[in-house]
């Protein structure tokens, strides 16, 4: 399996507090956590040529992991369209935290993907609400994070095909924090935690969920999608 971890890589360069937690970037920590036998992990960032997502990179990527926040509008529409097409063809996609507002996630969802938020570090408990799903394999009843940014309902997304995590925050809010979708042949997982000023991606349980999700979202062998005019099937 070939995984590409994409990150804006802006906060780490501009904010000393973020750089202290992720000195080589959020993408580097996630990539390191995903490395294991049989898995090839590479990274790409916003300021690289074609955002690091050339035709060759996308063609060879089985699962794309996306972290974005402050520069969604800087992602070129042409690259978004190429990612979208690859998802329809079968590339898996994992969208993290504030990537909910990225161009590609909004295009895949067809909604505003807006929500409530509060950037005050508070306790979050991510309750597992579908213990039979492979993405939560090896996770207990919940994951507890001492400090995270609050996201709250209403979250303007389509009804998830599977809801895996429901978050509760110390302020009383709840949030659909782990949602799966399919588009064409591609599988998509949105996973909420991961604000840049907290060490969320150093948490082994968070990385385990992302690793499980990559295995789940990886392309499967199947028939090519056929559209348009076609000849009648042969009579049986």
pLDDT score of 229:
86
What CATH number is given to the structural domain containing 198? Answer: 3.40.50.880
In a domain, 70, yes or no: yes
In a domain, 39, yes or no: yes
Model confidence over 99-149: pLDDT tens digits? 999 999 999 999 999 999 998 899 999 999 999 999 999 999 999 999 999
Task: Name the 3-class secondary structure at 174.
Answer: strand
In a domain, 158, yes or no: no
Please answer whether residues 177 and 206 qualify as being in contact, where contact means their C-beta atoms are separated by less than 8 angstroms: no
In a domain, 147, yes or no: no
| pLDDT higher than 70, residue 236 | no
Cα 65 to its chain centre, rounded Å, is 5
In a domain, 87, yes or no: yes
In a domain, 125, yes or no: no
Domain that holds residue 190: 2-113+176-217
- Residue 162 structure tokens: 């599977």
Number of domains in the chain: 1
- The Cα 76–Cα 84 span in angstroms is 13
Sign of CA dihedral 83, 89, 92, 98: positive
Nearest alpha-carbon partner for 83 in 103, 113, 111: 103
In a domain, 62, yes or no: yes
Nearest alpha-carbon partner for 104 in 126, 123, 122, 81: 81
In a domain, 134, yes or no: no
């Amino acid at each position: 399996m070939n995984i590409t971890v994409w990150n804006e890589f802006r906060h780490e360069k501009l904010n000393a507090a973020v750089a202290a937690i992720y000195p080589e970037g959020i993408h580097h920590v996630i990539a390191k956590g995903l490395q294991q036998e049989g898995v090839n992990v590479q990274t790409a960032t916003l300021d690289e040529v074609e955002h690091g997502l050339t035709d060759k990179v996308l063609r060879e990527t089985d699962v794309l992991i996306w972290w974005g926040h402050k520069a969604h509008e800087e992602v070129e529409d042409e690259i978004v369209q190429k990612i979208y097409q690859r998802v329809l063809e079968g590339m898996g996609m994992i969208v993290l935290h504030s990537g909910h507002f990225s161009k590609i996630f909004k295009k895949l969802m067809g909604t505003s993907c807006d929500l409530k938020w509060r950037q005050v570090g508070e306790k979050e408990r991510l309750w597992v609400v579908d213990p039979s799903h492979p993405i939560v394999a090896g996770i207990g009843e919940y994951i507890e994070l001492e400090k995270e940014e609050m996201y709250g309902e209403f979250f303007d997304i389509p009804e998830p095909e599977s809801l895996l995590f429901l978050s509760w925050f110390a302020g009383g809010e709840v949030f659909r924090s782990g949602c799966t979708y399919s588009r064409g042949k591609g599988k998509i997982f949105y996973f909420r935690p991961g604000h840049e000023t907290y060490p969320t991606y150093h948490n082994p349980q968070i990385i385990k969920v992302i690793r499980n999700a990559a295995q789940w979202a990886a392309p499967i062998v199947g028939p090519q999608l056929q559209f348009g005019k076609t000849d009648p099937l042969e009579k049986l």
